[in-house]
Amino acid sequence: MILQDFTRTKIYIDKIKTKIPNSYCSYPDDLPYFTNKIGVQIWRHSDGLGLQFSGKLFVMPNSLGAITIENADQIAEVIEQKTNVKIDSDYLLKEAPIYEVHLKTDIYTEEEKLEDYLSDIREVAKAETDKYDVYRYDDVVYEKGLQVLSKPSSLAVVPKAKKNERFAIYIKGAEIRASEDREYRQQLDHGFLVQTDRILRFELQLRSFDDMRKFCGIRKYDIPCLMDILKSDRNPVYNKFCELVDNEMKVKDED
């Protein structure tokens, strides 16, 4: 069933946070303190720029967009087009330290079963109460100011021992509807937007060098950079998912 899609090892990144020193970027004197465009946010420091970018840089009418090994060398160019900030591409890809990364896998499945998947995963994770805090969030629908529907739309599983790792599982369509980023939604075809209610996203959010090294197979003392993550031969999202389920759940679709 859904686990068959997890067997791929290609890395898909939803979001990256890093910092670019002044020596590796240039920008207009009147660049605002904070710049927010589709897929990129930039904030100024005295010694450089804070930079956060996402797969939305590559959104298309029939694609949510993702950072991949195939489009990585286009990131600096697209950021410049959107913000007038020029960033050294080699530095961005091979040297800039990654302070946060969201790794994703999107699964297309039957819409009526999405809530069942979320419920099953939640119960498995809750059984490990000594290891994880499990949070549930609902997609609430209103008509004329009255709540007419409330159903589970996402889970967040956070290890008790370290709060800089988060495993989120959510219905992508619900997240898009809840987003305040109307401009992003307008980039998507209506037909495809409807289909996002069938997308279950599994997202591993890492906020420490140690966790990036662990899940992406990066050498112990290396500072993770974007290409280290994109060239990883590991399957971080699947491996994290397997931490939450027993062996029976892992193999039942292979029988």
- DSSP collapsed to 3 states, the chain: CHHHHHHCCCCCEEEEEEEEEHHHEECCCCCCCEEEECCEEEEEECCEEEEEEEHHHHCECCECCCECCCCHHHHHHHHHHHHCCEECHHHHHHCCCEEEEEEEEEEECCHHHHHHHHHHHHHHHHHCCCCEEEEEEEEEEEECCEEEEEEEEEEEEEECCCCCEEEEEEEHHHHHHHCCCHHHHCCCCHHHHHHHHHEEEEEEEECCHHHHHHHHCCCCCCCCCHHHHHCCCCCHHHHHHHHHCCHHHHHCCCC
Residues 88, 119 within the same domain:
no
Residue 228 lies in a domain: no
Residue 94 belongs to domain spanning: 13-102
- The least confident of 38-52, 104-118, 209-223 is 104-118
Long-range (24+ apart) CB contacts under 8 A made by 118-121 are 118/152, 118/153, 118/154, 118/155, 118/169, 118/171, 118/200, 119/152, 121/155, 121/169, 121/244, 121/245
Residues 119, 182 within the same domain:
yes
**127 CB contacts (<8 Å, ≥6 apart)?**
none
Of the candidates 164, 231, 240, which has an alpha carbon nearest to the alpha carbon of residue 204?
A: 240
Among residues 37, 69, 102, the one where a domain terminates is 102
Residues 130, 77 within the same domain:
no
pTM listed for this prediction? 0.87
Residue 70 lies in a domain: yes
Residue 200 lies in a domain: yes
* Mean pLDDT along residues 54-82: 96
Residue 213 lies in a domain: no
Residue 226 lies in a domain: no
254: number of Cβ within 10 Å = 8
Residue 143 lies in a domain: yes
Output the average pLDDT for the chain.
83
Among residues 102, 119, 142, the one where a domain terminates is 102
Residue 87 near residue 76, CB atoms below 8 Å: yes
Q: What is the pLDDT of residues 113-139, one digit of tens each?
A: 677 777 777 776 665 567 778 777 665
Counting the structural domains of the chain, the total is: 2
Residue 230 near residue 69, CB atoms below 8 Å: yes
Chain-centre distance for alpha carbon 4: 20
Q: What is the pLDDT of residues 162-221, one digit of tens each?
A: 778 988 888 888 788 777 678 888 899 999 988 888 888 889 999 999 999 999 999 999
Residues 115, 134 within the same domain:
yes
Tokens of 197: 């209610």
* Mean pLDDT along residues 241-245: 78
